[in-house]
Amino acid sequence: MDDSSEKKNMHWSEIIAKDVVNSKKPPYVVMSGITTSGPLHPGTLCEFMFADAIYKSLKKLDKGAKFVFVADILDAFDNIPAPFKQYEGELTPHLGKPLAHTPDPMGCHHSFAEHFLSEATDAMAKFDVHPEIMRADQAYAEGKYDKYALEYSERKDEIKKIVQESSLRETMPDDWHPIMPICEQCGKIATTTILSYSNGEYEYSCDRDVKYTKGCGFKGKGKISDHKYKLLFRVDWPARQDMMHVSTEGGSVDHHTRGGTLSTVAAVHRKFFKHDPPIYYKFGFLKYKGKKYSKSKGIGHSVNELMQILPIPVFEYALLRPDIQEDKELVLDEKTLLPLISDFEHAASLDSDSELSRADRKKSISYSLTEKKEWNVPLVDVLVNYAIHKDWDKVGELLEDPEGVKYLSGYVDKWIEQGWIPDKYVFELGKGESPSHPEAIKKFSDSLKEGMTDNEVHTLVFETAKSSDIPPKELFQDLYKVIIGKTMGPRFGKFAIIIGIPRLKELLSS
């Protein structure tokens, strides 16, 4: 089997892992990261979920793998998130400062950045993702970026040209410099400009107007060895990859556009560091009814909502199942919820070591990357039993899965409240209506025998309809009308067995 044929049967995480092993030297390092500037966004989950999937696939191939997650918390605080507008008076004076130097107005964390970094690491723990956290403020303070800042500054014209050409810019500002000093007067990083540089020392002014804030006008001096600076993002990113010997890192579609950030990152590796860049993988956007998730525009579910209303393994599966480059629709409603969980249950039943179709093998691998299923019976059986008995303990006992049913019960209650459970699974047994074909109903009821299988009951409906000279659809509708007062319900054969033949006959005769 050639390489292309083999890859068609592989999960995307396996393909990337194999490419890494074939072209990079161990130990293999997977990197991802976020700027913790606001509440965790569902799309941001992709940053650590996808990297963790590749890390796990690498571990299957080679034990020398590591996952590093970068908290880019020295970036400038440039916007007050909507949930924090009530603290606008307290936060506005800090606009332009590093996020790590901006106070948390709620007082529960050391800084604004820490507040949201904690939110991200808490979410990772719930998804059983445990990377090595690399905090940008600590890395700079420890001098890990100093050699890059020195090299970039000493060869400023060279790195400037690489940035210009790779980003497809016609011109670059005359005062462009790879270093952004932190003003010792006002503490801002977004408003400073390097005036002169020589041998690791520089002069700067804090006089830029960046629309959301202005510099204080201070002029000062600094040294790279003081560690009171940050590199511009397009040169910071390749520096940290080189520093950590990164094998692979991903980015959303917008980073992969021609002239986009990764064009510069790759060019810096090749032209400045003189080696190949890491393997870059592209991932699509998380979408809600065709539109990109956007908290500010009210498009999509929040992270907290998703974690409360969807079992985390199912959530993981929904993100890991599609090809990584595809946009991922994550919409929870009456039409999408049960098909998603049914597909998850199907994936859980597969053995990846056995002969599987291409699609099923990928589903099986996607499932193996999740936290695994917490229940043992199909969700639809749980729904039907609960609709009949309205007692979670009894449902757990009847299905011989008390822990699994208990796990699902809280979710099911929320789904019913949200209206996400199809109407055919929400009913009151015995709230019947008169049938259109009472004689056919009686004939069917008289023919029911204890010990029948669900298929035998289902077949009996067709046989009764035929002998009564009525369409089977009408008899099915009549049966549901008599039993639950609706014209449709769960698949009838299995429904009858769950109700029990004696009670079903009683319901039909009444």
Strand partners, 437: none
CA distance 197 to 271: 23
Q: Please name every residue paired with 292 in a beta bridge, in sequence order, or none if there are none.
A: 287
How far is the C-alpha of 407 from the C-alpha of 478, rounded, in Å? 35
| Identity of the amino acid at 323 | D
Rounded Cα–Cα distance for residues 404 and 399 (Å): 10
Locate 41 and state its tokens: 């966004």
Q: Which of 262, 494, 473 is nearest to 399 (CA)?
A: 494
Give pLDDT tens digits for 304-347.
888 899 999 999 999 999 999 999 999 999 999 999 999 999 99
pLDDT at 3 (0 to 100) = 64
Structure tokens at 305: 């909502």
* Measured distance CA(91)–CA(376) in Å, rounded: 50
Query: pLDDT category, 5, cuts 50, 70, 90?
Result: low
Asked if 312 contacts 408 with a C-beta cutoff of 8 angstroms, the reply is no
223 bridge partner residues: 201
Render pLDDT for 66-93 as a digit per residue (tens, 0 to 9): 999 999 999 999 999 988 999 999 999 9
Chain segment 267-315, per-residue pLDDT in tens: 999 999 999 999 999 999 999 999 988 766 778 888 888 889 999 999 9
Task: With 0.75 as the threshold, say if the pTM is over it.
Answer: yes
Number of helices and strands in the chain (H, E): 22, 13
For residue range 16-34, what is the model confidence (pLDDT) as tens digits? 999 999 999 999 999 999 9
| 99-127 burial code (b ≥16 CB/10 A, e <16) | bbbbbbbeeeeebbbbbbbebbbebbeeb
Structural domains in the chain, CATH included, are 438-509 (1.10.10.350)
Q: CB neighbours (10 Å) of residue 424? A: 19
Mean pLDDT of 428-448: 92
Give 116-156 pLDDT, tens digit per residue: 999 999 999 999 999 999 999 999 999 999 999 999 999 99
